[in-house]
Amino acid sequence: MEESDGEPTVLTRDDIDNFVKKLETHEIPRHTCLNCSKTYIFDSYGHHVGVCDQCWFDQFPKEQVREFYRSFFE
Residue 2 lies in a domain: no
Asked whether residue 30 is domain-assigned, the answer is yes
The verdict on pTM exceeding 0.75 is no
The answer to whether position 67 is within a domain reads: yes
Count of residues making up the chain: 74
Output b/e per residue, 36-72; b: 16+ Cβ within 10 A.
eeeebeeebebeeeebbbebbbeeeeeeeeeeeeeee
| Overall domain count for the chain | 1
Q: Provide the domain limits for residue 22.
A: 13-73
Our separate counts of H helices and E strands in the chain read 3, 2
DSSP state of 7: S
Specify if 60 maps to a domain. Answer: yes
pLDDT digits (tens, 9 = 90+) for 16-50: 999 899 888 878 888 999 999 999 888 788 888 99
51 within a domain of the structure (yes/no): yes
Q: Is 31 exposed, middle or buried (0-12, 13-18, 19+ CB in 10 A)?
A: middle
**pLDDT of 73 above 60:** yes
